[in-house]
Amino acid sequence: MARDAHDWLIKVDPSMEWQVLRDLDGEPKERYLIARARIPHSGWGEALLKAQRPDGSWAADEPTGWADSPDGSATYALAILRLFQIDPADSAVRDAIDRVREKVTYIYQDRIPYFGGETEVCVNGMVLANAGYFTVDDDGPARIADRLLGQQQPDGGWNCDAPGSRRGSFHSTLCVLEGLLEWNRWRPDPRLREALDTGISYLMDRGAMHRLSTGEIVDEAFLQPASPPGWHYDIVRALDFLRDAGVEADERLDAAIDHLESLRTPEGRWAQGALHPGLDGEREREHWATLAPGVGEAVGDDSPVITLRALRILRWAGRDGDDS
């Protein structure tokens, strides 16, 4: 069953092939980097890079919300390219990042350059993740990181509703943690590491989906993985982050991983659980459905990205077994 899903992923796109070779097969670097090098020049990666507008964004002609606006679409597109694990050093990728740096600004934030960030914690976390992954050397991301460090809540999380709230939000916390992890890889700082460790404890102590006070599931939507997730929290996104951060999968995550296993189809794949959950309207969803091949399948359809993430989560948790 796992082997069937593996073979499917290998064939579907270079962005999936190279991550399978690296994360599931343990192939030598010289082999999987050959597949990675194809991502900007074929398949899903090439299509998304070519969809970039001359203004540096991936916006709609007539934006209707955040995700099809210039700054929102840039955030969304770069996050998808991170899902593909595209090579940030490739010349086509560098050209795309330069266009974002030079041309994309925040319409409602006094035309601040894109990598200078905005006011919402969750968005700034995504921008910081994009800046770190794509090795942006501007001063803006460093200032974002400093702001986020000062916005961590007493419980270790973050919340877009702060200062009105003194508690973390799963959505905001995961966005920020992804940002701090990528930025700390690019620009290591012990303050970032400390905030990361505290934020990771926030997720672990809650089993990645439970209320700390009652043990209840915070939101049933967390159990429906999405590709792409946008700013929205789900257990596949959270568990894959914890794996990527080098956290040990202990018993606190057992229930979340049990649920992940329960979502596996008879073919050994995982389906799209929620279509673009962070988007506000149908026109935004239509915009991204045509713009980004490889993500945004119809709910219930097999999702390569979710399947890849799920398989490597199970391997990380020691649950991949011998069902090949």
DSSP string, 164-220: S--S-BHHHHHHHHHHHHHHHHHS--HHHHHHHHHHHHHHHHTTTTB-TTT--BS-G
Residue recorded with tokens 């991983």: 257
Residues 235/259, Cβ–Cβ less than 8 Å: yes
- Tell me the three-class secondary structure of 20-77, residue by residue: HHHHHCCCCHHHHHHHHHCHHHCHHHHHHHHCCCCCCCCCCCCCCCCCCCHHHHHHHH
Say what the pLDDT of residue 102 is: 97
Q: What are phi and psi of 263, to 5 degrees?
A: -85, -5
278 three-state secondary structure: coil
Give the pLDDT of residue 1.
Answer: 62
Question: Tokens 């219930």 correspond to what residue?
Answer: 300
The amino acid at residue 297 is E
Q: Please, which residues have CB within 8 angstroms of residue 95's CB and are 6 or more apart in sequence?
A: none
> CA–CA separation, 294 vs 101, rounded Å?
25
pLDDT in tens, the chain (324 residues): 667 899 999 999 999 999 999 999 999 999 999 999 999 999 999 999 999 999 999 999 999 888 999 999 999 999 999 999 999 999 999 999 999 999 999 987 778 999 999 999 999 999 999 999 999 999 999 999 999 999 999 999 999 987 777 899 999 999 999 999 999 999 999 999 999 999 999 999 999 999 999 999 999 999 999 999 999 999 999 999 999 999 999 999 999 999 999 999 999 999 999 987 777 778 888 888 888 888 888 999 999 999 999 999 999 999 987 454
- CA gap 113, 74 in Å, rounded: 12
Crossing angle for the helix pair 254-262 and 304-316, nearest 10 degrees?
Answer: 140
Instruction: Give the pLDDT score at 205.
Output: 98
In contact, 24 and 311? CB cutoff 8 Å: yes
Of 220, 235, 251, residue with least CA distance to 313: 235
